[in-house]
Amino acid sequence: MSEMNTFTGRIFDPLKMMKQDVCVEDIAHALSLVCRGGGHIRYFFSVAQHSMNCASEAAARGWSGRIVLACLLHDASEAYIADIIRPVKPYLTNYLDIEAQIMDVIYDYFELADLTPEEKKFCKQIDDEMMEHELRIMMPGEERRQTPILMSEPDFRERPYRDVEEEFKCMVKKYTENLKKPDMGDKCGVLVNAKAISENNRAKYEEAAVREGYRQLTKLLIEKKMTITTMESATSGQIASLITDTEGSSAVFKGAFVTYCNEAKVMQGVPADILDRYTVYSKETAEAMAAACAKTYQADIGIGVTGTMGNIDPANPDASVPGQVYFAIVINGDMKSYYIELAVQPTRLTYKLAVAKEILDVLVSRVNQVSG
């Protein structure tokens, strides 16, 4: 029989752990002393800190209290059997079995034994995304790693372990106060088992993702020393705004046109015969817009956007189809055009952000292909 001693004096066999062996004080104390990354990071950052950041992110996304608690405790087994770095862990099958057994006991203790596969997937997603940020900030050689969007503002500071330990215990208490207490005979209530992000928080999360994506794009353009300009109709300057929201964007952003009517497009260099022949809502018009703004500002990249967001355009009723958008991107003379059909959106802003996301994905892919 193999026994271990815990911080609070409990003695038990970790291979046969039972609910009565689980103790919040033990978990908080041990996790606050276990370093992430196997210790190969720039400063001490504990598993407890990582877990609290994950829980805060789950709360910011509007997930249920039980999922927040699951995120807080997702690495709790490491309080008893330590941490193993990811490149090695998949090969330690016995460790994985023991880890799963201990997590089952811990989740059962905290009334989380019935977590659904979907809820576990949410927790794993946040765990992975938080790790990406930690690698960029803490791991030597990972400074340029691309990181996913977060709704919260994680605390990546180096902190005294005793402060972390106390904060961890407070968070556990906060998210278990409405759950059945393991050491009590009656239920104190159960938190709502929401399994998805609320629609309101989902919209905020998606907007934040687009804005962060453009921030990363602008940084990429600065690194590559590439200049960019836009001529927008349907998005009415949204792309230009997203690019210039980043500090230092003046180094790459030359200027922009918002050409809402046909006359404005012609004034800024779009040939009138293009509009007459192909209509304002066409790939040819989008290409002419991209070419015209790139020429005017002598920019490496030109973007043209035209389409109908909501109702039919009374100025161009025959060509206007709600939800149809054309955009073109010219990079160093290489012109490509694209067409998208948008699902119905609740607001004009969400329409614009949906188009901005499509343009972002194409733009990042093409810019990354440019050498230099």
Q: Could you give phi then psi for residue 331, rounded to 5 degrees? A: -125, 115
Residues 127, 74: contact at Cβ < 8 Å?
yes
> Where are the chain's structural domains?
4-197, 202-368
Q: Tell me which amino acid residue 186 is.
A: D
Say which CATH class 4-197 falls into. Answer: mainly alpha
| Core vs surface per residue 303-328: b (16+ CB within 10 A) or e | bbbbbbbeeebeebeebbeebbbbbb
What digits encode the pLDDT tens for the residues 202-224? 566 678 778 888 988 999 999 99
What digits encode the pLDDT tens for the residues 183-194? 333 322 223 333
Query: What would the DSSP string read from start to end of 300-320?
Result: SEEEEEEE--SS--TTSTTT-
Per DSSP, the three-state class of 174 is: helix
Q: First CA to last CA across the chain, in angstroms?
A: 62
116 burial type by CB count under 10 A (0-12 exposed, 13-18 middle, 19+ buried): exposed
281 burial type by CB count under 10 A (0-12 exposed, 13-18 middle, 19+ buried): buried
- What would the 3-class secondary structure string for 240-301 be? HHHHHCCCCHHHCEEEEEECCCHHHHHHCCCCHHHHHHHCCCCHHHHHHHHHHHHHHHCCCE
pLDDT band at residue 130 under the 50/70/90 scheme: very high
Write down the pTM of the prediction. 0.56
Q: Which residue has the higher pLDDT, 263 or 186?
A: 263
For residues 283 and 84, give the distance between their C-alpha atoms in angstroms, rounded to a whole number.
Answer: 53
Indicate the CATH number of 202-368 among 3.40.50.12280, 3.40.50.740, 3.40.720.10, 3.90.950.20: 3.90.950.20
What is residue 17's predicted lDDT score, i.e. its pLDDT? 96
